[in-house]
């Protein structure tokens, strides 16, 4: 079984994020869900992004690093939307990652002027018509991340795998969960 750190999206550590973590936990994995927003949650992604911009990217990078400081290095790093950047940073800056997965976005290692480490498989899950989608990052992810799998689902919502959110699509959410669990089983 894997030990996972799951970084939340811009709406914060919501019930939907915790529900996804519970799905992984029910499959026997240990899941840590650090709260980078100190208890704040937002109804919309836009509000969370505005909050994050006022606090600053560096603050969240520091909080994410501190959240894993006392954990083993052989973790699976996971992130949802904004949290994908935090997860990728940990893979790129902290040797020993077993794997990674990203919901609601992909990462481009060039954002950190880095190369994805060999032997760290990963997945990225996005919706085809998501207004927050970053095709350039997805293209770089697909081209430069060894053993990186990019999954594109039909739909336009951003938080499409989050139960209780207006963007939720049960069929896509089930497929995301099954694919992530499959990745974890292969580690």
pLDDT score recorded for residue 43: 87
CATH topology of domain 3-186: Rossmann fold (3.40.50)
**How many Cβ atoms sit within 10 Å of the Cβ of residue 55?**
14
Name the token pair of 11: 């709406």
35-52: b (≥16 Cβ within 10 Å) or e: ebbeeeebeebeebbeeb
Q: Extract the runs of DSSP E, i.e. beta strands, from 8-165.
A: 30-32, 76-80, 99-103, 122-127, 148-153
pTM: 0.96
Would you kindly state where each structural domain of the chain is located, as residue ranges? 3-186
pLDDT score recorded for residue 114: 95
Distance CA(71)–CA(134), nearest Å, equals: 31
pLDDT one digit per residue (tens) for the chain, 187 residues: 999 999 999 999 999 999 999 999 999 999 999 999 999 999 888 898 899 899 888 899 999 999 999 999 999 999 999 999 999 999 999 999 999 999 999 999 999 999 999 999 999 999 999 999 999 999 999 999 999 999 999 999 999 999 989 999 999 999 999 999 999 999 9
Distance CA(4)–CA(160), nearest Å, equals: 21
Residues 6+ apart with CB under 8 A from 81: 9, 10, 45, 103, 104, 105, 132, 158, 159
Distance CA(73)–CA(182), nearest Å, equals: 21
């Amino acid at each position: 079984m894997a030990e996972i750190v799951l970084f939340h999206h811009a709406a914060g550590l919501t019930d939907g994020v915790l529900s996804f973590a519970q799905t992984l936990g029910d499959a026997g994995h240990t899941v840590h869900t650090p709260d980078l927003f100190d208890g704040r949650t937002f109804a919309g992604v836009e509000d969370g992004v505005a909050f994050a911009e006022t606090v600053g990217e560096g603050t969240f990078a520091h909080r994410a690093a501190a959240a894993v400081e006392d954990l083993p290095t052989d973790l699976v790093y996971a992130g949802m939307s904004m949290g994908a950047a935090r997860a990728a940073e940990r893979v790129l800056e902290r040797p020993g990652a077993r794997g990674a997965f990203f919901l609601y976005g992909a990462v481009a290692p060039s954002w950190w002027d880095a190369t994805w480490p060999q032997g760290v498989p990963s997945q990225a899950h996005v919706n085809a018509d998501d207004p927050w989608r970053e095709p350039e990052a997805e293209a770089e992810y697909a081209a430069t991340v060894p053993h990186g799998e990019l999954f594109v689902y039909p739909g336009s919502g951003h938080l499409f795998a989050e139960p209780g959110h207006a963007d939720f699509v049960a069929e896509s959410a089930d497929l995301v969960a099954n694919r992530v669990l499959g990745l974890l089983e292969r580690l």
